[in-house]
Chains A and B, each alone.
Chain A
Amino acid sequence: MTLLNLTRAAAPARLEARFLILSGLVVLLLLLPVLQVLSDGHNYVLHVLMVIFMYVALASGWNIIGGYAGYTSLGHPVFFALGAYFSGVLLVYKGWSPFWTAPLAGLLATIFGFAFGLITLRTRGPAFVISTIALLLLARLVLDNWEWVGGSNGLSLPMIGWPYRFYKIPFYYGMLLTALAAVWVSYRIRHSKLGLFLRAIAMDEIKAEVAGIDTRMCKVIAFAISAFFAGVCGALWGYHQTYLRPTIFLTIGAAADLVLINLVGGRGTVAGPVLGAALRVGLDELVVNQIGSTELNITVTGILMILIVLFFPGGIIGALRERGRLPRLLDWD
């Protein structure tokens, strides 16, 4: 009895410590733009963090279908582009700010993802990934030839009307909120019945089906939710870039990024995509921008992917957990 009371008392306290550290970090990130207000010269920091937030949101979203359910999607750039073009067109033709239309862009991506999932997630197994590659190439073909949204030349968007010193700040907050929402949703799904069903599907779909799980609906819902964050990020990123071009969004390389981030961090874990995104952007800033981007980038991405699949299939989180070295701070599952 005393033992039980002791564990009861101890568990929340340890949880508290982790909770305090993480919320402290979030508060810190929320306050960071104050630096830029006080004195100029922190735009670079804000920019790098903003890109990290974007990848956190994208990769956490991808993880819901690609990690929890184990269905690799190479079609997420399509939802990103959908969001970017939706909000971009509304900005150009109606003058509506993407900060207001971004949630709508996410919703549109969700609806589109739901419809697409209904068609392509009927079957088990690898036919799905084929359909996502086809979707990506089809979207590219359509956007390249659709003159109303600029065709292959793309669409220029008006700049946000903020002074240069402050113009990163709204994007910073937009991406930060999206990333927090994505991680929160990912966490909630991981600890819900849906999350359990999805993991059952990833382990053995036939058994999951036999156990009475509506596997098709679970997969479709997971895919639709994961599309939401890609749509929102697309809307914000397009506005930040001030031009939309099919070649930026709709490449297999962009899809490969999301796969690699999840593989590095740990697919199917809540913290994996966050860790992976931070590493991806950090390394990009440190290494790639020094050497310059070349075709070799693609090769390195490919080789990394092969090595991780062969030697660290669980990514960083999985490898640490296997050895019992995963700090509680990062154990969000």
Chain B
Amino acid sequence: MTTGLQTLILGLALGGVYALMAIGLSLTYGVMRILNLAHAAFMVLGAYLAYWALQIFHIDPLLSVLINGPLFFILGVSLYRLLFVPLAGRPRYTEATLLLSFGLALGVEGLMGTWWTGIYRAANPVYATRSISFGPFYIPEGQLYATVISVGMLLVLWAFLQNTRIGRAIRATMQNRTAAQIVGVNVEGISALAFGLGMASAGISGSLLSFLFPFFPGKHWQWISSLLSLVVLGGMGSLIGTVVGALLLSVASVWVSSILGPTWSPVTFYAALFMVMMIRPQGLFGKKEA
């Protein structure tokens, strides 16, 4: 019972971070039907920047969230305008953007490998190795902070999507792009904004990643496949689904890791992906395709 609860606590503590990592993927797919394979590459880039900030300027990774967020937002909007806008209106748009983002991921990976070499790194602020215990349970301090920040960010995003005009425009575009355009939503502007927000989530979660998990340039493939697996589980294009998928799979992966060892915990994500594709291809919260 205690070990079960402990697994649940550790799983939920990571689930919030996974949800923040994946929400950007879900947003860009929902608004623009762009499957951004470079999302995790930018996440790892964010982790390197946070690592640098700590090593050179002694900026705590929790604070570098404030740098990475705006920085990656601007980067995202620029990349969208530079690379993805020219593809608009092409036949087979999703496929073209998929290949484009694949190229982008490889490009970023190679640059990171050139700059920081391929060795494992991890930022180690003081709290990275400490943990807080209450009764028979414990929670690593770093995970606690990361989760608090992630949940905070997700709540801000949720409030923004629910209560502002622009947020409503984003949700409208997700539901039906053409209809949104007809009622006067500036779909191009919304798309750039959504891509920027997606990238900002990658940058912010990169800061958190820097002290939660060791990373190296090629690591982002494992991340992207885990994140995409949980997005598919939740239902592609559903933000609620992504959060639920993240929580389910993080608990499941912590549980698998406690039984089979951490080597096999990524298998949880792949197994879930294949099972969803067999049983319910549209995912938990996805609408059945027309």
Binding site for B on A (CB under 8 A): 70, 72, 74, 119-120, 122-127, 129-131, 133-135, 137-138, 141, 145, 202-203, 206, 252-253, 256, 259, 263, 294-306, 309-310, 313
Contact = CB atoms under 8 A, between A and B. Distances in A.
A127 B290 contact: no
B165 interface: no
B232 interface: yes
Given A120-B274, A133-B225, 8 more contacts: A72-B99, A123-B277, A129-B37, A130-B229, A134-B273, A137-B222, A141-B264, A295-B110
Contacts of A131: 273-274, 277
Which of B94, B106, B225, B281 has the most CB atoms of chain A within a 10 A radius of its CB?
A: B106
21 contacts: A72-B99, A72-B102, A119-B277, A119-B278, A122-B278, A126-B94, A126-B98, A130-B225, A133-B225, A134-B274, A135-B270, A252-B221, A296-B110, A299-B107, A299-B110, A300-B110, A302-B108, A304-B103, A305-B102, A306-B83, A309-B96
Determine chain B's interface SS by DSSP, over half rule: helix
Contacts of B94: 125-126
A70 B221 contact: no
Contact of B277 (A122, A300, A303, A306): A122
Interface string B198-234: 0000000000000000000110011011001100100
Contact of B281 (A74, A123, A252, A306): A123
Interface stretch (B66-74, B84-92, B249-257): B84-92
Nearest to B34: A126
A309 B103 contact: yes
Interface stretch (B111-119, B125-133, B136-144): B111-119
Contact of A303 (B98, B103, B221): B103
Contact of B263 (A145, A309, A313): A145
B35 interface: yes
Interface of B: 35, 37, 83, 86-87, 90-92, 94-96, 98-100, 102-111, 113-114, 118, 217-218, 221-222, 224-225, 228-229, 232, 236, 263-264, 266-267, 269-270, 273-274, 277-278, 281-282, 289-290
A273 to B, nearest CB: 16
Contact of A306 (B104, B118, B221, B278): B104
B278 A303 contact: no
Contacts of B105: 302
Contacts of B274: 119-120, 131, 134
A313 B282 CA distance: 30
B35 A137 contact: no
A304 to B, nearest CB: 7
Nearest to B107: A302
Contact of A129 (B96, B98, B266): B98
A302 B264 contact: no
Contacts of B113: 295, 298
Given A206-B290, A259-B102, A302-B105, A120 B277 contact: yes
A126 B273 CA distance: 13
Contacts of B264: 141
Contacts of B217: 295
Contacts of A127: 232, 236, 277, 281
Contacts of A119: 274, 277-278
